[in-house]
Amino acid sequence: MSTVTTAPATQRVPVAGVDLDVLRRGPGQPLLLLHGFEHIDPRLPIVDLLARDAELLAPSHPGFGGTKRPKDFGTMYDLVHLYLEYIDTLPAGPITLMGISFGGWLAAEIAVKAGRRIGKLILVDALGIKISDRETPDILDVFNAHPDDVVKKSWHDPAKNAPRYDDMEDEELITISRNRETLCRYAFHPYMYSPQLKRWLGFIKARTLVLWGASDGVVKPSYGEAYAKLIPGAKFETIAAAGHHPEIEQPVALAERVQAFLKA
Amino acid sequence: MDVWYQCEIPYPNVAKDVLDRAPSVRGSLPNRYCDPKIAADLFEECIDEFLLCDDRGLNVVAIEHHAGINSLLAANPMLVAILARQTRKARILSLGTLITLRPDPVRVAEEYATADVISRGRLEIGFVKSGGSEMASSNMSAIDNGWRYWEAIDLISKALTSHDGPFSWEGQYFSHRHVNIWPRGYQQLPRMWSATGDASTSRDVGRRGMVHALVLRGPEGTKAAFAANRQARVDAGLPAQTTDNFAYAALVAVGETEEEGMRLGEKLLWFLNTSMKSAPQFGKFLPGGAPPEAAPMIYRSRRAPDTPTPAGMKPSIGGALIGTTPHQAKAQGILFAGTPDSVYKQIMDFYNFVGGFGHLVMIGRSGPMTHAETEKSINLFSREVLPRLKAIAPVQAGFNQ
C-alpha cells in the first residue's frame, strides 16, 4: 500500500440508529466521500489531499471499518436512507458528494434522491448500472474470479499497490474479511448494480464529474463513459496509471481533478 | 444399526494433466471435459449398484454436488425419483437437495412429497448446509447461509405437514404467499436428518431431534459434535435420544484380504486426493464461509503448521485432507477398509469412541473403482458385516461417555 501519514481522528456520529464512524478532516465546504470495496484508511495520502480545500467527511458504511451494522440493516436501500439522514445533519446548502467504486453506485442513488441538496457529484470508477448485453458482465465478479485475476485487473501496478496479506496485522485482515462479507451482503444480487438506476440517472441535478482509472479492469473506462452520458452535462475524464483504485494509486492526480472541478 | 449406501457418482475420467492445470476441479472446470456417453455409463452402473444394495438389505443415499468431477449429481431429486421407483425395500435418504442454494423451498417440498408417494413412504429427508464452489454454481452467497438453512427447513416441514389449504410464508429469506402442495407426502413427515459438524448447528440439531450425521469428520470431531447435540438437549430439558438419532458417514471398502480391502480403500481416497482441489475464491476467500476473525489464519499464504483450524471452518473435509494415504485415512476414522472382520472392528471401535450411532453411511464407490469391484465390496459387506451391525439395537446415545 502507498505511503501513509499520521492518522487523523474519526468521529462516531449517531444517525438513524447507526453509530457511523466518520473520518472528518479539513476546513471549508463539506465533501462527503463514500468508499468502495474497502473503507477509507485514515492514513492514506488521499485523505489530506482532499481535505486541503474542503471539509472531508468519509464515513465507513455499516459493517465496514469501525461502523457496526445493525442486524436489520443490509441493503442498498438502507444505505441510501442512512446517508440521506446524515446529509440532513450537515449545514444547509449544496454539498459535494463523491463516491468511489461501490460508493459511486451509492452516490449516484443518493444524487437521484437528494435533488439540489447535492451541488456537485464526483463518481470515481463507479458501479451501479448495467450497460452491456445480458451475456456480457460489465463488472468483474470479485467474489467468483480467482484472487490472482482480481489483483491483476484491479491495479495498474499490482506489484507496488495491491495489498499483501502476508505483511498485514491480524486486525487489518479481520477488517478486510469483514468488509468483503459486508460488500457481499449489499451488492451480491444483482451483482453490483441496480436494474432501475439507469432509468433515473437523467434526473440528477448536480454538476457531475466522472473519473476513471485508465487501467481499470474491474470495470472498464468505456463503462464510465457510458455512465457519464446518462447524467445530464456530466464530464468524463480518465486518470493515467491507475486501475480501479485511483485514490490509492494516483492520489495526487485524483485530488487535483477533484479540486479543479470544485473550483470551476 | 442401519447401513446406508452412498455413491456420489464421481467422474474420474478427466486426464490428470487437465486436472493438474485447472485451478479448481469443482465449480469452474469446463464441462467439455465431461463426455456424456461416459456419464451415461456411470449412471447406469451406479444406479445398478443402488439396486443391488436394495436387494442386499442396505438403504440408499442420494447426495447433491454441482459442477465438478466429484459428483454428477447436480439434481438430487432426479436420482431420488429413480430410486423411489426402482428400489423395492430400501429406505431412501436424500442428503440432500442443497436447500440454502435453492430459491424456492416449496418446490423442494413438492419434490420430496412426490418421491415419498412414489416410494410409498420410504423417503427420509436430509439437509446439508453446503458451501465452497456450490455457492458459485448456484449463484448464491454464503452470507447468512445458516439462517437460510433453518428457515428453508421450517418452510419445507410446514409445507409437508399442512393439509388444510393454502398458507402464507413471509420470512426473512423466503416468501411464498400461497403454499398448498399436491400430492401430500405418503408419510405425515419423513424422518429428517442434518449433516453438520460445527458445535452451534449440532446443538440446533439436538434440540430439533433430527438424525445428526457427521461426514468424514473423524473420531474426535464426531465425538465433540455428538456431545454438543446431547448437551443441548440436556440444557433444554429435553429427553435423551438413542443412537438412532446419530449417523456417521465414512469411506468403506471390503475385500477378501486385508490387502484387497486397502487397495479398494486407496481408490476411494480419490474423493479426497483428487476431487477436492478447489480454487481459493471458493474456499478461504469465500465471504461468509468462515467468520472474519479466522482471516489471520486463512488469508496469509504461509500458515504455521500447528495453526488450529479456525472456528466455523470444516476441519476434515477440505484441502487439509488432500494427500491422505489409506493408512492415514484408516487411522483418522474416515476410511474403514480391509476384510469383513477388520472392517467390523474398525466400525465398532469408532462406534464406541464417539458414544454410538444408529446409522452407518458407507461411501462405497469413488474414483477409479470399477463396477465389479464395487459390487464385490457391497456383496461382501452385506453378507458378512451387515448382519452383525443389524444386530446392534438402539441404546441411549453417549452410553459410555
Q: Is residue A122 part of a domain?
A: yes
pLDDT at A1: 42
pLDDT at B319: 55
pLDDT at B131: 85
Q: Compute the distance between CA of residue B307 and CA of residue B284 in angstroms, rounded to an integer.
A: 15
Q: Compute the distance between CA of residue B204 and CA of residue B90 in angstroms, rounded to an integer.
A: 28
Q: Is the pTM of this model over 0.80?
A: yes
Q: Compute the distance between CA of residue A11 and CA of residue A67 in angstroms, rounded to an integer.
A: 11
Q: Is residue A169 part of a domain?
A: yes
- pLDDT tens sequence across B256-289: 999 999 999 999 999 999 999 999 999 999 999 9
Phi-psi domain of A14 (left: phi exceeds 0; alpha: psi -120 through 50; beta: other): beta
Give the three cell numbers for residue B14: 478427466
Residue among A168, A173, A181 minimizing CB distance to B288: A181
With 60 as the cut, is the pLDDT of residue B224 above it? Answer: yes
Give the three cell numbers for residue B210: 433430527
Residue among A165, A174, A188 minimizing CB distance to B300: A165
Q: Compute the distance between CA of residue B170 and CA of residue B173 in angstroms, rounded to an integer.
A: 8
Overall average pLDDT of the B245-264 stretch: 98
Residue among A173, A184, A185 minimizing CB distance to B295: A173
Which residue of B lies nearest to A169 if distances are taken between CA atoms?
B296
Q: Is residue A3 part of a domain?
A: no
Among the listed residues B275, B360, B362, the one whose alpha carbon sits nearest the alpha carbon of residue B318: B275
Number of domain units in chain A: 1
Which residue of B lies nearest to A144 if distances are taken between CA atoms?
B281
More confident residue, B247 or B322: B247
| Residue of B285, B286, B297, B313 to mutate for A, most A C-beta atoms under 10 A | B285
Contact in structure between B359 and B351 (CB atoms under 8 Å): no
Residue A224 belongs to domain spanning: 10-263
Measured between beta carbons, which residues in chain A are less than 8 angstroms from residue B66?
Answer: none
Q: Compute the distance between CA of residue A122 and CA of residue A112 in angstroms, rounded to an integer.
A: 13
Per run of 10 residues, the mean pLDDT along chain A (length 264 residues) is 54 97 95 98 96 96 96 97 98 96 98 97 98 97 96 98 95 97 97 98 98 98 98 98 98 98 94
Q: How far is the CA of A209 from the CAs of A32, A104, A232, B234, in angstroms?
A: 15, 11, 11, 63
Proportion of chain B above pLDDT 70, given as a percent: 95
pLDDT at B303: 55
Residue among A177, A181, A183 minimizing CB distance to B299: A177
Q: Is residue A4 part of a domain?
A: no
CA distance A140 to chain B (A): 13
Q: Compute the distance between CA of residue B18 and CA of residue A77 in angstroms, rounded to an integer.
A: 45
Q: Compute the distance between CA of residue A174 and CA of residue A181 in angstroms, rounded to an integer.
A: 11
Q: Is residue A63 part of a domain?
A: yes
Q: Is residue A246 part of a domain?
A: yes
Among the listed residues B319, B337, B132, the one whose alpha carbon sits nearest the alpha carbon of residue A143: B132
Measured between beta carbons, which residues in chain B are less than 8 angstroms from residue A166?
Answer: 300-302
pLDDT at A2: 43
Which residue of A lies nearest to B302 if distances are taken between CA atoms?
A166
- pLDDT tens sequence across B93-117: 999 999 999 999 999 999 999 999 9
Among the listed residues B275, B320, B274, B318, the one whose alpha carbon sits nearest the alpha carbon of residue B66: B275
DSSP for B281-324 reads: GGTTT-TTTS-GGGHHHHTSSS--TTPPPPTTS-SSSSGGGTT-
N- to C-terminal Cα distance for chain A? 32
With 80 as the cut, is the pLDDT of residue B313 above it? Answer: no
Q: Do B286 and A143 touch (CB under 8 A)?
A: yes
- The sheet carrying A10-15 orders its strands as A10-15, A18-25, A55-59, A30-34, A95-100, A118-124, A207-213, A235-239
H-run or E-run covering B45: helix B36-56
Q: Compute the distance between CA of residue B280 and CA of residue B298 in angstroms, rounded to an integer.
A: 10
Q: Is residue A230 part of a domain?
A: yes
Overall average pLDDT of the B73-92 stretch: 98
Half-sphere exposure of residue A96, counting CA atoms within 13 Å on the CB side?
23
Contact in structure between B287 and B267 (CB atoms under 8 Å): no
Amino acid identity, residue B203? R
Q: Output the domain CATH number for residue A162.
A: 3.40.50.1820
pLDDT at B320: 63
Q: Is residue A171 part of a domain?
A: yes
The model's confidence at residue B130, banded by pLDDT at 50, 70 and 90, is confident
With 70 as the cut, is the pLDDT of residue B306 above it? Answer: no
| Interface size, chain A vs chain B, as Cβ–Cβ contacts under 8 Å | 59
Measured between beta carbons, which residues in chain A are less than 8 angstroms from residue B300?
Answer: 165-166, 173
The full set of domains in chain B, from first to last, is 2-390 (3.20.20.30)
Contact in structure between B37 and B394 (CB atoms under 8 Å): no
CB within 8 Å of B40: residues ≥ 6 apart: none
